Structure 1
Amino acid sequence: MSRRRSTPAHDAGPPSVTAMLPAIPRSDMLGRLAALRSASTPALKQQWRELFGQAPPRFHPRTYLRSRLAYRIQELAYGGLRPETVDRLVALGEQLDGGNVVLRRIRADHRPLPGTRLLREWAGVEHVVTVLADGFEWEGRPYQSLSAIARAITGTRWNGWTFFGLKGRAGA
């Protein structure tokens, strides 16, 4: 049995809101993507309202807003995933978790998958941490914990999961 579930990128709201979202001409797309880099946080939040038809999420860094807006701009210019692709992704997910929605939302170890890149802007500098199978890497050096990286970046003690916006996930 295959269930059809929409993803956040494709679930912009009720049909009345979705119908009001702007179509972005492909000729405007590259300029809009480039403008995201220098846009202020209030400008990014305003674009979020225009492109998603809802309020932006609270407490997310600018890098998150920029990346989601960049995806959304491309989605509105080129179109989203085809229904067949969404159905295939749902089917693959069901193969992994047997269709159990609870298992789909919870990973056994609650840790980001190796290869995941965590982004955090601090004091005007964007920091990128790569998740490894046995730790983390920042600026070419291995670390055992995100807290150690957060301390190296800020000079003060931080909960690494909180610093990188992972707090609030199951088990974090």
Structure 2
Amino acid sequence: MTKPDPIPARLTALKTTSTPDLKQQWRELFDSEPPPFNRRYLESRLAYRIQELVYGGLKPDTVKRLEALGEQLDGGDRNKSRIRADRDRPITGTRLLREWQGTEQIVTVTADGFEWQGRPYKSLSAIARAITGTRWNGWVFFGLKNHRRST
């Protein structure tokens, strides 16, 4: 008779593990300090790492394929992907309007991000989350989803 796999139970236990204990597991599994991200991020990365260590990570062919796709997108140059993002960004000074639950929300595009209710933000998603209390793609929330056709 085969022993039951303990990994599913270990993954389930992450949901009820205290945050300090999650951070300790991070230190043990990644041999580094945990990042200052939310609990859900820690849980998901720990779950992946536990499975990776027990069952193995991505196959070398998969890693090569992902690297090749990344090269196709930006040639491995992070600045190119930033330039592409900047190209699609509204012009500084543009005001974005969105009505949410009967209240008009106004966001101003600034040189280094966005401003909402007098506070600076780096992303529209952060503003959309502040407004709604849930995760949103900020570009979609404010109606800026890119509809251009690729040529």
TM range (shorter): 0.5 to 0.7
Give the aligned residue type for 1:78: Y
State yes or no: 1:100 paired with 2:100. no
1:82-108 deviation per Cα after TM superposition (whole angstroms, max 9, x unaligned): 22211111111112223434325x362
Q: Which runs of 5+ in 1 are unaligned?
A: 1-25, 111-142, 155-159, 162-172
What is the CA–CA distance in structure 2 between the aligned matches of 1:152 and 1:101, rounded to whole Å? 31
State yes or no: 1:81 paired with 2:63. no
Distance change in 2, residues 1:107/1:43 (3 Å): farther
1:106-158 deviation per Cα after TM superposition (whole angstroms, max 9, x unaligned): 36237xxxxxxxxxxxxxxxxxxxxxxxxxxxxxxxx996425423439xxxx
Residue 42 (structure 1) aligns with = 20
Give the aligned residue type for 1:109: A
Larger Rg: 2
Of 131, 150, 153, 2:133 maps to 153
What is the CA–CA distance in structure 1 between the aligned matches of 2:46 and 2:74, rounded to whole Å? 30
Of 15, 28, 38, 1:61 maps to 38
What is the CA–CA distance in structure 1 between the aligned matches of 2:83 and 2:39, rounded to whole Å? 27
What is the CA–CA distance in structure 2 between the aligned matches of 1:30 and 1:107, rounded to whole Å? 42
Give the aligned residue type for 2:7: M
SS at match of 1:109: helix
CA RMSD of aligned residues (A): 3.2
1:29 CA displacement: 0.9
Of 51, 58, 68, 1:91 maps to 68
State yes or no: 1:32 paired with 2:10. yes
After TM superposition, the score normalised by the length of structure 1 is 0.48
Give the aligned residue type for 1:108: R
What is the CA–CA distance in structure 2 between the aligned matches of 1:107 and 1:70, rounded to whole Å? 34
- Please state which structure has a larger fraction of its residues in helix: 2
Q: Which runs of 5+ in 2 are unaligned?
A: 87-104, 107-123, 139-151
After TM superposition, the score normalised by the length of structure 2 is 0.54
What is the CA–CA distance in structure 2 between the aligned matches of 1:41 and 1:149, rounded to whole Å? 23
Q: Number of residues paired by the alignment?
A: 98
Give the aligned residue type for 1:151: I
| Bigger relative contact order, structure 1 or 2 (CA pairs below 8 A, ≥6 apart) | 1
